[in-house]
Amino acid sequence: MGLSSAMQWWEEWQLRILVLASCFIQYVLFFSIWMRRAPILRRLRVLVWVAYIAGDAVAIYALATLFNRRNQTSDGESSALEVLWAPILLIHLGGQTFISAYSLEDNELWKRHTITLVSQVTVALYVFCKWGSGERMLLAAAILLFVVGILKFARKPWALRTASFNSLQASSSVSLPEAQSSAPIYSLEEY
């Protein structure tokens, strides 16, 4: 097996491998809830962290591969199921319901996730619009998955924004009555 045949094999199977890898990562994240609960399995937190980081990267890479494949094959020779992979990858980009951020610092990245949301939904919609098959059942399933994928993916930046430090600080501020607000404020260093 030469280098050219290996490259040809990768070109043919790349998208399938990436979608399967994204599914596997989502399963690891799904089952990681039990890793956090069991004291013995807490040592596998590095695996959860790697899966959390790799989940978005693999799904974005798969969407980019799907986008490039759509640009290269405009005659519709690719698989009819590829139209379903774009919304499924959007669902994967939404992540698991119970883990929107791995650490508190990740909550401050909600603007980056919003830009990722807009760009990846645009790519997925482009792939969907370039799909030229007339199968009505597959089209209906793809539209339903798109709605679910966009809503699930939009939930992630919203959850990060509402859990960000500035949002929590703004929601927990208590207004003081007039008499108390004019009183001098003392710091602990003065005592």
69 located within any domain: yes
176 located within any domain: no
178 located within any domain: no
175 located within any domain: no
pLDDT at 126 over 60: yes
Size (the chain), residues: 191
Give the residue, 165 or 159, on which the prediction is more confident: 159
104-107 CB contacts, 8 Å cutoff, 24+ apart: 104/165, 106/160, 107/160, 107/161, 107/163, 107/164, 107/165
117 lies in which domain range?
10-166
| Per-residue tokens: 5 | 């045949």
Residues with Cβ within 8 Å of 93's Cβ and at least 6 positions away in sequence, in order, are: 55, 56, 59, 60, 116, 117, 120, 149, 153, 156
Q: What is the pLDDT confidence band of residue 160, given thresholds at 50, 70 and 90? A: confident
Q: Check: pTM over 0.85? Answer yes or no.
A: no
Number of domains in the chain: 1
187 located within any domain: no
Residue 148 is predicted with a pLDDT of 92
Residue 173 is predicted with a pLDDT of 59
Of 155, 149, 76, the closest CA to residue 110 belongs to 155
51 located within any domain: yes
159 located within any domain: yes
174 located within any domain: no
Of 106, 115, 122, 123, the closest CA to residue 159 belongs to 106
